[in-house]
Amino acid sequence: MAALPLTGPHRAPTAPPPARHRAIAVLDRLPDLRSHLDGARAAGLRVGLVPTMGSLHEGHLSLVRRAAVDCDVVALTIFANPLQFDSREDLERYPRHREADIALAAGAGAGVVFVPTEAEMYPTPPTTTISVGRLGDVFEGASRPGHFAGVATVVAKLFNAAGPCRAYFGEKDWQQLLVVRRMVGDLLFPVEVVGCPTVREPDGLACSSRNVWLGSENRRAARSLFAALAGAAAQVEAGEGDAHVVRRRLAESVADEPLVTLDYAAVVRAADLAPLERIDEAGTAEVRLLVAAHVGGTRLIDNLAAPTDNLAAPSDRRP
């Protein structure tokens, strides 16, 4: 166990972490994480959990800050999960900054950082994985077969070790958020899953550990993803109810950037990723615009809620 002072700045809209967060425990064994958080709950403290793969950025830190406001003890986990990578080479390429990540987590309000080895998380090759069916098979699941089984499996292991808690995930990975929520509901984990808004760079690019792989030209080109999402959302806000028209606008806007290769663009019901024919089919439910693309050798994803207040109800439409 190691201790570091909490010295980082705090950003709006969250308040500073509680004053009792003065040192951070750095743990690397599952039993130690379980014991530490069980002890916190026994003392009457609320536990927040922020699972990450490390290489922390402002998006991750916003989750820690939110958890520090909601909870008494915040545990951040750092584990590059091999089940989520397409190859061993991709896993080895993933950026790792352990000491910097620990300092950033402490500054944002974490009281615990869990940094297990692969052998700790998978002492033997896993033969049991978790699938959430169609929800994990479409979009990212179709482009990266087995990805969400890997996500669900490692998150389940972390939830089992952490015990009853609130767990914080960013909306930037919207499909992942839904997969985790579905798993928690189906398997009755004593966990409340909290989705937090996407954090963006000043140019609109969603914060991602993969952004460090973008050179200056690709970085400029990558801005087209959010620009396309914003344009399609504005189209919906102006009253366009045909989901095919909106999807075409979204796809064409991305394709207009020659350095970007579109993987998918979609207009879906936010709660279950069901594709929409008409945007007002979602009724009072939220609509999400999804996009994924390759920018150079880097694959990026993004999404945005579509404002539907100006759409006519189905009964108001003329034949």
Sign of CA dihedral 230, 234, 237, 241: negative
Rounded Cα–Cα distance for residues 136 and 141 (Å): 5
pLDDT of residue 60: 98
Q: What is the mean pLDDT of residues 89-95?
A: 82
For 25-196, give the CATH class: alpha beta
Main-chain phi, psi angles of 173, to 5 degrees: -95, 70
Rounded Cα–Cα distance for residues 304 and 227 (Å): 11
Least confident of 56-65, 175-184, 244-253, 302-311: 302-311
Q: What is the mean pLDDT of residues 164-174?
A: 98
pLDDT of residue 282: 66
Under the banding of pLDDT at 50, 70 and 90, the label for residue 309 is: confident
Least confident of 82-96, 127-141, 154-168, 251-265: 82-96
Rounded Cα–Cα distance for residues 153 and 3 (Å): 30
Q: For residue 13, is the peptide bond before it cis, meaning its omega torsion is within 30 degrees of 0?
A: yes
Kindly write down the DSSP assignment for every residue of 165-191, as one continuous string: EEEEEEGGGHHHHHHHHHHHHHHT-SE
| Residue found under tokens 């793969």 | 53
Whether 244 sits among the annotated catalytic residues: the reply is no
H or E, element range at 301: strand 298-306
Rounded Cα–Cα distance for residues 249 and 224 (Å): 13
Under the banding of pLDDT at 50, 70 and 90, the label for residue 163 is: very high
Rounded Cα–Cα distance for residues 215 and 292 (Å): 18
Looking at 60, 147, 244, 294, which residue is catalytic? 60
Kindly write down the DSSP assignment for every residue of 138-174, as one continuous string: STHHHHSTTHHHHHHHHHHHHHHHH-SEEEEEEGGGH
Tell me: pLDDT of 183 over 80.
yes
Q: What are the structure tokens assigned to 103, written together?
A: 């300092």
**Which regions of the chain carry the CATH code 3.40.50.620?**
25-196
pLDDT of residue 3: 34
Per the DSSP assignment, residues forming a β-bridge with 269 are 287
pLDDT of residue 89: 82
Least confident of 89-93, 149-153, 229-233: 89-93
Q: Cβ(59)–Cβ(170) under 8 Å? A: yes
Rounded Cα–Cα distance for residues 151 and 210 (Å): 17
For 209-316, the fitting CATH number among 3.30.1300.10, 3.90.1200.10, 3.30.70.890, 3.40.50.2000 is 3.30.1300.10
Under the banding of pLDDT at 50, 70 and 90, the label for residue 85 is: confident
Tell me: pLDDT of 116 over 60.
yes
CA 252 to chain centre: 26
Under the banding of pLDDT at 50, 70 and 90, the label for residue 298 is: very high
Under the banding of pLDDT at 50, 70 and 90, the label for residue 17 is: very low
Which amino acid is it at 230? A
Tell me: pLDDT of 93 over 70.
yes
pLDDT of residue 14: 44
Under the banding of pLDDT at 50, 70 and 90, the label for residue 7 is: very low
**Which regions of the chain carry the CATH code 3.30.1300.10?**
209-316
The radius of gyration computed from the CA coordinates of the chain, to the nearest angstrom, equals 20
Beta-carbon count within 10 A of 232 CB: 27
H or E, element range at 93: helix 88-93
63: helix, strand or coil:
helix
H or E, element range at 237: helix 216-237
| Residue found under tokens 């709660």 | 271
